[in-house]
Every structure is written in structure tokens, then in C-alpha cells.
Homo-oligomer: A and B are copies of this chain.
Amino acid sequence: MLYPQLDPAHNQTPLAQGLSASPGAASGIVVFDADRAQTRGKAGEKVILVREETKPEDIHGFFASQGILTSRGGKTSHAAVVARGMGKPCVAGAEGISVDVFERKAEIGDRIINEGDVITIDGSTGNVYAGEISTVEPEFTDELNTLLAWADDQARLSVRANADTPEEAARARRFGATGIGLCRTERMFNATDRLPIVVEMIMAEDKVARQEALDRLLPIQRDDFYELFKVMSPHPVTVRLLDPPIHEFLPSEQQLVNELASLRNVRDAVDSVGKLPDALKMLDPQVHANYSETLENLHESLEQIQGEPLQRLIDYKDSLLRKVRVLYEVNPMLGHRGVRLGITYPEIYEMQIRAILEAAARCVQEGIEVNPEVMVPQVCTAQELKYVKDFVDALHPQVEAEFGVKVQLKFGTMIEVVRACMRASQLANAAEFFSFGTNDLSQATFSFSREDAENKFLPFYNENGILQDNPFEVLDVKGVGRLMEFTVEQGRKSREDLKVGICGEQGGHPYSIGFCHSIGLDYVSCSGPRVPIARLAAAQVALTSPEFNYD
């Protein structure tokens, strides 16, 4: 009801089908990479980004596109999660489509779709159509607003949104979100103007060089947070410190290998051409004279690429490739990420915490009420949390003194590692709030990699009744839920007023919201467009008090 839908009168046959990864429908011209999406999007064209799968480095292509279509990946693939977060339609894992990025075309059966061809995707059904199909816009009527206000009066759970940019935050407010439950700072790192600085930080040979790059990121992050706090004022904004493994900010090994091969070919060609003038001199002087103007021109253009600059580029790409190989992990989901990064490279978290504090201080100076919350990802032991808390306790009074104002700041932790559930009572000594990251927690509880399971065995499991639901869509009450209840109980044993929320995908799902209510959570946080549904669900469970058991 809250997304654009295909005109119900259309009678087109779909070209292909994938997973309904993010609801809504959109039409546009096909582009096969994020740069092209940005160029054509900025030129005012409506584009659909079509990829085999997406990576964090494609993020600018998401912003520029009406919708995303991938031939690989499940409902919690990068493409699906990011598209849902942005409220953009996405069809993922449309396996009938074969994408050829280099030829800029895709094959669907015996049909070829070229860059620039118009297609329509329906993220609510997973269908992909040739050509444009008109869409019907959603209406946010007065009646609906009244109904949602009644709902808010009944609900005990408050509803926040997952939002990473001021634009997303503003839209979430329009949907009625009363705070941001999850701001993913890596999305800020991925924007085109920051990524080169982030890469510089990763490639830094020592702490000094790393700090230098971080010093340049600080004002940018501070501005990000400032805008976000302002838009959401006076509601709380939970900022999660850097989470993904840092190799995600670098190009893939395959991409670098390909680039290096091309660059080396260019160098070889340049070398051969560079020897041409001498070779030609051996010929009849008259022949040589005939070529001299052409050679002059060739020489000029060669000077721009050959020698030093080209070699430097090759050396740089080579060093990137070596770094990518050093950072390689067998199971990146269970790797060097989250707080493990924050502890081994403390200057990253220190920069982020300072940026949050300074942004908040600036708001206070301007009379804007702010409630920032710092959230630490991937925590498994209280010692990790204390380690990061020490940064906060050192920086907080410093920034207050520099800005001459008092700043409110809450400190808390994601609960997404099973051991954190077991240690909830100890974690609550340092954490003022818990937020369940049920995407990762479900992966760890099931030992299912969300990037693999949805393409391999999970559909079979669902079809054959081995699992009733996809646990990445519907909270698994009997396993993950039971862990969550234990965690809430243990956490509130050490801190009675511990605030607890959920910011995983399942936080926007009505059945899951019912369970969150039943175990005493304070809030749910979901992608912006799911906020109205979550508000209704929160009221419904407050009125009906559904019961859950673990049998």
C-alpha cells in the first residue's frame, strides 16, 4: 500500500522472475554499472541498475537508480538490504538473466537486453518486464494518518527507522519514525568523495599515515552526523561504529587482477610505440619525413600516459592487490570486523566517536535538542565494550570543554553474536542499551551464511517443511527468539532500566514485532517504508498480547 505498484490493468508477460527483494515497481533504462547509473541518472534519465550482484562500492549507483535488478543473491544480499533501506524496488537473484558487464548486455532466454533498453521491475512480485509499464503511486491519506496516530496511542513499542543519510531520515520522519535505530556509518565511508580517503587509511603503512587520513574523514563524518541529528531532533539517533571487514572498501581481487593485466598491456604497447621513431629512422629518409607529423602527435599523446605516471598506477594497483590478499578471509562474516577492528585499529573508532560528539555539541550550541547513541557492533565479551567505553569516557569531556556545552550521549551495544547473549548481564554493566542485530544473530544461531543459504539449500528447506519460514525474513522465535528473551532477562538483572530494541530486517515484520513486544523490548527499528506497518503492528500486539512458546 505504501509503495508504487504496477498499473493493475497491465497484461504483460514477465521476461524473467527473481526474488521479491524490496517492494515497489519502477521502470527505466538498463545500465550495467554504478558509474554509468550515476552519469545517466544525473543527466535526468530514469535508470535500473542491473548487476550480477552488488557491492558496497556500487552505492552511488543505488542512489542514482529507480530500482535494482540482480541475477545472483538472496533476499538479504547486499542489493536487497540496501534497496530496502532506501525504499527502492529490487528484484534479486533472477537466475534466468545472464549479465555481461563487459559487453554491456544481458541475456534473458534468447532475448538480448542492451544498455539503454527500457525495462520494468516489480519488487513486490519479483517479475521483470520488457518496456515501460505505468505505475500507480501510493496514497498517504488523512484517514491513514489518523489511524496511525490511534495506533501510536495504543502501542507500547516505539518505532524507529534504519537510516544512514539525512534524506532517508527525513523520509522516515514522514512515515512517523520516532528516532533512528540504526545508522550504518560504513555507508558514509562508501560515498564517492570519501572512499578514496578510506582506501588511503586502509593502505596506510603506519599509524601516522592512518591518522592523517582519518583527520580528513573527521570533518566529513561530523557534518554527516550533524545533518542527521538535526533532521531527527529531538528523537534519538543510534550510530553504529564501523562494522564490515575493511577489505569490503577495496576492489575485489579479480577486478584488480584484470585491471593490472590491462595496464601492463598498455605499458607494453606504449613501450613498442616508443621505439617506433628510432625504428623508422632506419628507413628511407623520405618515408620517415612522411610519418613525421603523425609521429609528433603520437609522441605527445604518449607522453601523457607513458613512463612514470603509468608505472606509478601499476605499482599502486599492485599494492592494492597485495593488501587485498593480506586481508583475505576464508569466512569474512566471522572475520576481522566490527569491534575487533575497532580494538586493533583504535584510531578509527576514536575518530567516529569524536565526530559524533562534535556534531552533537554543535547542535547544542545552535539550540537543537539531540540524543545521540553510540553503538558497538559484533561484541562478544564485556572487555571489548570496556575498551571502547574508555575512548568515549576520554573524548566526551574533551569535546564538551572544546565546545563549551554539555552533550548527552548514550553508550550501548549490538547484540548479534551469540556469546553476547550469554554475557548479557556483564555487558549491561557498561551498556545503557542493547539493540538486537537479528540478521547476524540469525546467521550465527543457525550457522547459515545469509549470502549462501538463500541460493543453495534454504528454498529446499522451506518447500519441504524442514523450516517453516526464512529466518532472515521472519524472526525464528524458537531459536533466536529464545536467546533474545534470555538476553533481555539477564541484561535487566544488572541494569533494571536497560533499553532494548531490534534493528535487524525482522524488526519490520508484524509477527516478529509481536514477539518483540512479548519479551519486553522498548522499540523496533526497520527501513523507512516499513515504519507505518510496524506502527500498526505495535498497536495490534499491545491490544491482543499474543503468546509465544518454545515447544
Residues of A within 8 A of B (CB): 329-336, 340, 343-344, 378, 380-381, 383-384, 387, 416-419, 422-423, 426, 440, 443-449, 451-453, 456-457, 460-461, 464-467, 476, 478-480, 482-483, 550-551
Contacts and interface: CB of A to CB of B under 8 A. Distances in A.
B466 A383 contact: yes
A453 B340 CA distance: 10
The 10 closest A-B pairs by CB, nearest first: A331-B449, A334-B449, A419-B479, A330-B451, A336-B456, A331-B333, A383-B466, A422-B479, A331-B331, A417-B447
A480 to B, nearest CB: 8
Nearest to A482: B422
A343 B457 contact: yes
A466 B334 contact: no
If over half of A's interface residues share one DSSP class (helix, strand or loop), that class is named, otherwise mixed; here it is helix
A446 B380 contact: yes
A551 B425 CA distance: 9
A449 B422 CA distance: 19
B381 A467 contact: yes
A381 B479 CA distance: 9
A330 B417 CA distance: 19
6 contacts: A330-B451, A332-B452, A333-B449, A384-B466, A418-B447, A422-B445
B483 A418 contact: yes
A334 B333 contact: yes
A193 B329 CA distance: 32
B451 A343 contact: no
Nearest to A327: B456
Nearest to A460: B344
B334 A334 contact: yes
A335 B256 CA distance: 27
Contacts of A329: 449, 451-452, 456
A511 to B, nearest CB: 18
A254 to B, nearest CB: 10
A448 B334 contact: yes
A423 B478 contact: yes
Given A332-B331, A334-B452, A387-B466, A380 B447 contact: yes
A441 to B, nearest CB: 9
Counting chain B CB atoms within 10 Å of each CB, the highest count among A446, A447, A466 belongs to: A447
A460 B345 CA distance: 11
A483 B445 CA distance: 12
B422 A478 contact: yes
B449 A335 contact: yes
Given A335-B456, A381-B466, 16 more contacts: A329-B451, A330-B449, A331-B334, A331-B449, A331-B452, A334-B452, A336-B453, A340-B457, A343-B464, A343-B466, A380-B448, A381-B467, A381-B479, A419-B446, A422-B479, A423-B478
